[in-house]
Amino acid sequence: MTLSLPELSSPIFQRPRRLRQSAGLRRLVRETHLQLDDLIYPLFVMEGENQRVEVPSMPGIYRYSLDLLLEELSTVQELGLSAIALFPLIPDSQKNNQGRESYNPNGLIPRAIRAIKQTFPDLIVITDVALDPYSDQGHDGIVDENGKILNDETVAVLVKQALVQAEAGADLVAPSDMMDGRIGAIRKALDAAEHIQTGILAYSAKYASAYYGPFRDALDSAPKFGDKKTYQMDIANSREAIKEVALDRVEGADIIMVKPALAYLDIIARIKPYTYTPIAAYNVSGEYAMIKAAAQRGWVEEKTIVLETLTSIKRAGADLILTYFAKQVAQLGIKNS
């Protein structure tokens, strides 16, 4: 049967605009709600004291020494944000192919975790588990003499890194490396060390994306050779994302993530029916930088496009969003219901 629109004179003629006539009506029937509790604020920490250095390709985003990071977190918590994700800028002198500094119990990230938890015990601290900030090769894994990224040898180091972070007090460890089997290995090690309450936020569908450039500037972690396509996902694949999510969930992931967010909204929506596990999405540095650059030139209205962007990620099915706009959104007055 072919259905056609009813005539204008029909008593059942629908006028969807009736529910758009006022801000109150639009709020009443709104399907997707963006709240502060949906947002995780990524922050960059570095060695030193009284240091606050802007990332050139990310206007308004800074690398902080630990003392000033704690000051920033006081503001963050006052604004109502409840979760942060920490990423370290590691000095070149502490980098090597094996990423040994990543599991130094007195390293930058463990010290930062302890200081944050002592000062802000209720703040949720999420820590990155990967070798690229600690690698003199700029890769997420150990590199052999032929330039091959070694999977199982890398996983052994990631386990050590996760254990050190859990011991320091991280609420969630977040493996971002895309090595096979690392979620199961980390979960087993955490449980054996009696860190059964430490959660895992798995970068499950992390694509080999061109949107990561500003982040690599922030951490000075760009690959020294080649690319990351042998371990990060092919940008053309979607069914593979379902497989990666399923594997991470079986291995013990508490939250799974899609990264980047905007160019992969279809992936978020496609994964949603396959899992009851919370889904996070990373509104990455390149997405942030493009909006900031366009807004600075007057090409877009920043406040409106930021809220539209984040709402679109939530509408696609993300439960949580890592975004550099988190503080800005809080300052706009977005609250929790």
Return left, alpha or beta for 298; rule: phi > 0 is left, psi -120 to 50 is alpha, else beta: left
Nearest to 110 by CA among 83, 93, 128: 128
* Contact partners, residue 164, CB within 8 Å, separation at least 6: 102, 103, 104, 105, 107, 110
Rounded to whole angstroms, the Cα distance separating 50 from 108 reads 15
Question: Which is catalytic among the residues 160, 228, 259, 314?
Answer: 259
* Contact partners, residue 148, CB within 8 Å, separation at least 6: 230
Strands 83-89 and 62-65: unpaired
314 is catalytic: no
Question: Which is catalytic among the residues 95, 160, 206, 314?
Answer: 206
List strand residue ranges (DSSP E) for 58-161, in order.
62-65, 83-89, 124-129, 142-143, 149-150
188 is catalytic: no
What six digits make up the tokens of 237? 């694949």
Provide DSSP, 279-332: EEEEE-HHHHHHHHHHHHTTSS-HHHHHHHHHHHHHHHT-SEEEETTHHHHHHT
> Which residues are the active-site residues?
206, 259
